[in-house]
Amino acid sequence: SLEAWYMDSSDEDQRKPHKLNPNQPVTLDELKTLGVYYWKLNADIYETDPDLEQIRKEQGYSYMDIITIHKDKLPNYEEKLKMFFEEHLHLDDEIRYILDGRAYFDVRDKEDRWIRISMSKGDLITLPAGIYHRFTLDETNYTKAMRLFVGEPVWKAYNRPADDFDIRQKYLVSLQGS
């Protein structure tokens, strides 16, 4: 299963784990209260996986592509990694399925603390529209991920502060009941 924890506030390399001492783990249930959902799949069979098919059908994930994040594979690698690690939000859900390698997704909790979510092969995650988050590779410097989307993809990221967007206000309201 996936592992998540509260981050320390050191300025060290973003690719390091940044666990607190002692570690403060975060459970899947806590992530759910933030609107973050998780599935574990068999990434070896992603091209024919009926479980992935079912999720895509149920959730309406009509669009998909695959991105390889590695210095020799991704055009403008350094620039993109820098962008991904800027705290931002999107107007739509961010849905990522790790097919190979590993990566970290960081999300803000209700008290604005960073939670680091460690993703590896077979982990599918959805971040709700309006949540502040960021992305980084870990020290292995490689991941291959499927990007899923409901309808035509919109990749636009709005860096923080982006509090005036309706979707941000909607997201904050959704937190109140959870």
Phi-psi region of 141 (alpha: psi -120 to 50; beta: other; left: phi over 0): left
The residue (of 94 and 123) whose beta carbon lies closer to Ni ion is 94
Question: What span, in angstroms and rounded, lies between the C-alpha atoms of 4 and 65?
Answer: 26
Q: Which does 84 bind (CB under 5 to 8 A by kind): Ni ion, ligand KMT, none?
A: ligand KMT
3-state secondary structure of 7: strand
Residue 116 makes contact with ligand KMT by CB under 6 A:
no
Q: Which of 93, 94, 123, 138 binds ligand KMT (CB under 6 A)?
A: 94
Peptide bond into 22 cis (omega under 30): yes
H helices within 34-164, ranges in order? 50-59, 77-84
Residue 138 makes contact with Ni ion by CB under 5 A:
no
Q: Which of 132, 135, 149, 171 binds ligand KMT (CB under 6 A)?
A: 135
Question: Which residue is at the shortest CB distance from Ni ion?
Answer: 94
Q: Which does 114 bind (CB under 5 to 8 A by kind): ligand KMT, Ni ion, none?
A: none
Q: Which of 6, 39, 63, 84 binds ligand KMT (CB under 6 A)?
A: 84
Residue 123 makes contact with Ni ion by CB under 5 A:
no
Q: Which of 64, 74, 150, 157 binds ligand KMT (CB under 6 A)?
A: 157
Q: Measured in Å, how far apart are the chain's first and last C-alpha atoms?
A: 23
Site for ligand KMT in 10-49 (CB under 6 A): none
Q: In sequence order, what DSSP letters do the residues of 21-67 get, joined into one string?
A: SS--B--HHHHHHTT-EEEE--GGGTTT-HHHHHHHHHHT--EEEEE
Q: Which of 94, 106, 123, 138 binds Ni ion (CB under 5 A)?
A: 94
Q: Which does 132 bind (CB under 5 to 8 A by kind): Ni ion, ligand KMT, none?
A: none
C-beta of residue 124 within 8 angstroms of C-beta of residue 93: no
Residue 168 makes contact with ligand KMT by CB under 6 A:
no
Residue 107 makes contact with ligand KMT by CB under 6 A:
no
